[in-house]
Amino acid sequence: MNSNNPLLCDPQTGVCELPGTASETDSVNVTPVKKPIKIIYFTDPICSSCWGIEPQLRKLKLEYGNNYEIEYRMGGLLPDWSYNSGGISKPSDVAHHWDEVSAYYDMPIDGDVWLEDPLNSSYPPSIAFKAAELQSKEKALLFMRKMREMVFLEKKNIAKWEVISEAAKKIGLDVTKLKNDFDGHAQDLFKADLELARKMGVRGFPTMFFVDSNEQRQIVYGFKPYQEFENTLLKTYAGAIKNSYDKNWQSIFNKYNTLTTREFAELSNIKKEEAEGVLIGLVKEGKLQKQNSKNGPLWLLPKLIY
């Protein structure tokens, strides 16, 4: 794969890598940690590898969420198409690649968005996320999730304001304020994220820094199995307490209103085939709805406003 193009996310390394970035991490002062661990997560709304680790991150939140706080930073995966070269030079070149990584990560990704309504940059949804955080950290995360569902499953161009505002409305953000912040302060916040990524030597996504109270860091770089996230957290803070959560389907869906099959399998601690059978049965009983996409469905609670 051509490492000069960030949209060619290498499934072997699980990384969407930026061109020409440093591999050394500079010394950077980190905001004081309130919980035993602070996670600084560099990501991007259209990072397929970041979408691939959603099951792991959701499980980490359920099992260890009381031990850490997480800070989301935008990395600027696709500024525009001016610097791309090699095996990919235009949006349509990404379509087949996204279909391939969908199978590798076992998460639904429909590459046809790059054929039907391609994005010219990942900066607009990144800035929109920073704007959403100015309203509510919790709603901003739902907003990011919704934008990712829209681009990966629904083939919607989340670089367009009308699509961004649609996502914002669905999770209850003030769209007028969002637009004002999008055009204003969120621009500066996004630039600050890019600068922090440069200073910390971030060269691709996902990159997660696990920081303890003494500002000592452990790094998880790229797509990794759940065990590596858990081990890194415990290495950062050996006293972390693991929460035993209810693995009943209803409890899981009450926590996370939309789930892919792999996410449900991960959170239920069962095999994907068994998870699929359970989910299909719940749809037949009218307890869940199924939203189909080319490379896999999304399962959600009926009459979901989100």
Measuring CA to CA, how many Å separate 253 from each of 13, 53, 61, 140, 234?
Answer: 31, 18, 14, 19, 27
pLDDT of residue 306: 45
Q: How many CA atoms lie within 13 A of 270 on its CB side?
A: 15
What is the spatial order of strands in the sheet that 289-291 belongs to?
A: 258-260, 298-300, 289-291
Q: Can you tell me the mean pLDDT for 261-271?
A: 98
Residue among 13, 19, 165 nearest 80 (CA): 19
Task: Give the model confidence (pLDDT) of 105-159 as tens digits.
Answer: 999 999 999 999 999 999 999 999 999 999 999 999 999 999 999 999 999 999 9
Q: Which CATH architecture has domain 249-300?
A: Orthogonal Bundle (1.10)
- pLDDT tens digits for 198-218? 999 999 999 999 999 999 999
Q: Which amino acid is at 211?
A: V
Q: What tokens does 67 get?
A: 């031990």
Residue 84 is predicted with a pLDDT of 55
- Of 185, 196, 300, 191, the closest CA to residue 249 belongs to 300
Task: Answer whether residue 30 shows pLDDT above 70.
Answer: no
Domain limits, CATH 1.10.10.10, in the chain: 249-300
Asked if pLDDT for residue 41 goes beyond 80, the answer is yes
Tens digit of pLDDT for each residue in 177-193? Answer: 999 999 999 999 999 99
How far is 17 from 4, CA to CA, in rounded Å? 8
CATH 3.40.30.10 maps onto the chain at 16-199
Q: Quote the pLDDT of residue 110.
A: 98
The C-alpha angle with vertex 230 and arms to 263 and 19, in degrees rounded to 5, equals: 80
Q: What are the distances in angstroms from CA 27 to CA 4, 200, 202?
A: 26, 7, 12
Extract the tokens encoding 97. 């690649």
- Report the DSSP pairing between strands 37-43 and 207-211: antiparallel
Average pLDDT over residues 265-279: 98
DSSP SS3 for 217: strand
Q: State phi, psi for 29 to the nearest 5 degrees.
A: -75, 130
Residue 303: pLDDT band (50, 70, 90) is confident
Average pLDDT of the chain to the nearest whole number: 92
Lookup: tokens for 32 = 């004081």
Average pLDDT over residues 160-166: 98
User: Where residue 18 falls among pLDDT bands split at 50, 70, 90?
Assistant: confident
pLDDT of residue 6: 66
46-50, 94-98, 285-289: lowest mean pLDDT where?
A: 94-98
Taking the complete model, does pTM exceed 0.75, yes or no?
Answer: yes
φ/ψ of residue 271, rounded to 5: -75, 155
Percent helix, strand and coil across the chain, each to the nearest 5: 45, 15, 40
- State the average pLDDT over residues 69-90: 82
Mapped onto helix, strand or coil, the DSSP state of residue 258 is: strand
Report how far residue 181's alpha carbon sits from residue 128's, in angstroms, rounded to the nearest whole number: 8
Alpha-carbon distance 42 to 75, whole Å?
A: 6
Measure the CA–CA gap between 46 and 114, rounded to whole angstroms. 12
One DSSP character per residue, 24-93 reads: SPPP---PPPSSSEEEEEEE-TT-HHHHHTHHHHHHHHHHHGGGEEEEEEE--S-S-SSS--TT--SGGG
**Residue 15 confidence (pLDDT):** 86
* pLDDT at residue 305 in the model: 47
pLDDT at position 56 is: 98
Percent of the chain at pLDDT above 70?
90
> Which CA distances in Å does 90 have to 19, 81, 118, 243?
16, 7, 9, 46
Q: Tell me what pLDDT residue 93 has.
A: 85
pLDDT at res. 89: 73
Instruction: Specify the range with the lowest mean pLDDT, choosing from 30-34, 76-80, 268-272, 280-284.
Output: 30-34
Which CATH fold topology does 16-199 show? Glutaredoxin (3.40.30)
Cα separation, 296 vs 76, whole angstroms = 27
Give the per-residue pLDDT at 87: 61
